């Protein structure tokens, strides 16, 4: 381990235990339209916001409530109109929330809200041949009770499969090394929040874009993003997209946070641990990041399939290379004296559980530290961080003996009988065992 002694990792504020009824594994929505209520929520149940996110393949509609309610709605289906009824006596539309939301994309035309003394009715007008999933999400300490409708565009899955196959073919043809950059959180999953309303999801996307821009200037390297806008992608789907597009590296960008405002500072880089986290604080941090799926409405998944894959001949190679990548990235970030190095750490982050390529998670700085949040939202610091991370990637390739621009070796899917299927609308690409 380099860059100083191992320090206790900060803890992010715990998310409450979540349980979701049902949800599709979808990449969700960019350019959100949000209408919130004005003022404090009234004592009676109320509809406090109607929100939408639109992405190339799907659209998410979210209804926020001041209290939990029961909804009458189909779990899934197809059609031009979807009606959701909430039979709650006294339910009102909070001030500032309109009765009509024009969405106007290729999946959802509009949404009408009708609030009566006996309850509320939400009517969604959908595009032809779209499918939908509807479910509710319980309130957490930083999220209200929500009814969510995900609408998928016709042909989205096939289009995404073709896009990722094209990325993989172009990588082989152009003889480049593909670096897949994952901007943490997104959409309804805002991540941690800093002073002044700075959201982690926005900072991570800005840094990811800077890193991609820098890497795309390096001969023999191509960089792509898991998301290029504000939408949600389930954790496991992030690295599975990279696997299908045959990536050589996977870097997930995040911001750190601590329980007590201003008590944490610095940057650290994680790679996967199969034996548990470096310490209890690292384990807590991994638990918080891994809960992103529950925030976005993705039900818990069994780990047996992932763990089983990890225990094969590729595991040790992937972990060794991941450690080298983490060291090189942190060395270059630490050259910027504005943030201290907290060292290389290990934890069971779900987004790192692929053996197809080296993968790391970068906790850039503390978003709830008043000094560091100023850096995180500063475009100059974001650009500098992108340059430092890009230099670390190039240094990694050099130390790993990878000649940039050299032909990639032949590669096969991890399981040809059961190829990975990416979510609709996800951005970026990557895959390959080790460096290929």
Of 110-124, 129-143, 420-434, minimum mean pLDDT range: 420-434
pLDDT greater than 90 at residue 13: no
* pLDDT given for residue 176 in this prediction: 96
Q: What are phi and psi of 57, to 5 degrees?
A: -105, -20
Q: Where are the beta strands (DSSP E) in 286-349?
A: 341-347
Evaluate whether 343 touches 4 at the Cβ level (below 8 Å): yes
Evaluate whether 255 touches 376 at the Cβ level (below 8 Å): yes
Q: Where are the beta strands (DSSP E) in 285-402?
A: 341-347, 359-366
Q: What is the pTM of this model?
A: 0.76
* pLDDT given for residue 258 in this prediction: 81
Domains of the chain: 30-152 (2.60.40.3500), 156-399 (3.40.630.40)
d(CA 153, CA 54): 11
Q: What is the mean pLDDT of residues 167-195?
A: 94
Higher local confidence (pLDDT), 8 or 238 = 238
* pLDDT given for residue 391 in this prediction: 98
Evaluate whether 28 touches 52 at the Cβ level (below 8 Å): no
Q: Which residues contact 304 (CB under 8 A, 6 or more apart)?
A: none
Evaluate whether 207 touches 382 at the Cβ level (below 8 Å): yes
Evaluate whether 12 touches 260 at the Cβ level (below 8 Å): no
Of 11-20, 77-86, 331-340, 369-378, minimum mean pLDDT range: 11-20
Predicted confidence band at 29 (pLDDT cuts at 50, 70, 90)? very low
Q: What are phi and psi of 50, to 5 degrees?
A: -125, 125
Higher local confidence (pLDDT), 329 or 426 = 329
Predicted confidence band at 89 (pLDDT cuts at 50, 70, 90)? confident
pLDDT greater than 70 at residue 419: no
d(CA 265, CA 370): 10
At 233-256, the pLDDT tens digits run: 889 999 999 999 999 999 999 999
| CB-neighbour burial class of residue 32 (10 A; exposed 0-12, middle 13-18, buried 19+) | middle
Q: What are phi and psi of 168, to 5 degrees?
A: -60, -40
H-helix or E-strand spanning residue 157: helix 156-174
């Amino acid at each position: 381990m380099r860059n100083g002694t191992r320090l206790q990792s900060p803890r992010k504020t715990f998310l409450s235990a979540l349980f979701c009824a049902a949800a599709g594994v979808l990449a969700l929505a960019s350019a959100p339209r949000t209408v919130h209520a004005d003022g404090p929520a009234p004592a009676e149940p109320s509809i406090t916001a109607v929100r939408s996110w639109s992405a190339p393949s799907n659209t998410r509609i979210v209804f926020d409530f001041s209290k939990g309610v029961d909804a009458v709605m189909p779990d899934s289906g197809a059609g031009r109109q979807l009606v959701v009824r909430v039979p709650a006596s006294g339910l009102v539309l909070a001030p500032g929330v309109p009765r009509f939301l024009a969405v106007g994309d290729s999946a959802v035309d509009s949404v009408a809200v009708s609030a009566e003394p006996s309850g509320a009715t939400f009517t969604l007008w959908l595009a032809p041949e779209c499918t939908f999933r509807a479910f509710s999400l319980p309130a957490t300490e930083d999220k209200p009770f929500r009814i969510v409708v995900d609408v998928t565009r016709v042909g989205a899955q096939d289009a995404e499969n073709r896009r990722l196959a094209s990325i993989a073919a172009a990588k082989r043809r152009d003889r480049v090394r593909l670096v897949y950059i994952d901007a943490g959180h997104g959409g309804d999953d805002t991540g941690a929040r800093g002073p002044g309303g700075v959201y982690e999801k926005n900072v991570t996307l800005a840094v990811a874009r800077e890193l991609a821009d820098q890497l795309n200037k390096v001969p023999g390297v191509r960089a792509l993003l898991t998301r290029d806008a504000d939408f949600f992608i389930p954790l496991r789907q992030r690295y599975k997209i990279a696997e299908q597009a045959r990536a050589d590296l996977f870097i997930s960008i995040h911001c750190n946070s601590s329980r007590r405002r201003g008590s944490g500072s610095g940057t650290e880089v994680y790679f996967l641990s199969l034996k548990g986290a470096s310490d209890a604080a690292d384990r807590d941090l991994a638990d918080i990041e891994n809960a992103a799926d529950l925030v976005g409405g993705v039900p818990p998944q069994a780990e047996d399939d992932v763990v089983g894959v990890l225990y094969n001949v590729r595991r040790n190679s992937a972990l060794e290379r991941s450690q080298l990548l983490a060291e090189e990235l942190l060395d270059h970030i630490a050259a910027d004296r504005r943030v201290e190095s907290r060292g290389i750490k290990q934890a069971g982050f779900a987004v790192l559980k692929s053996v197809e390529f080296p993968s790391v998670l970068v906790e850039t700085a503390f978003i709830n530290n008043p000094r560091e949040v100023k850096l995180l939202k500063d475009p100059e610091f974001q650009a500098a961080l992108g340059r430092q991370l890009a230099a670390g990637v190039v240094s990694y390739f050099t130390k790993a003996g990878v000649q940039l621009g050299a032909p990639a070796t032949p590669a096969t899917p991890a399981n040809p009988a059961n190829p990975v299927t990416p979510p609709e609308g996800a951005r970026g690409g990557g895959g390959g065992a080790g460096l290929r």
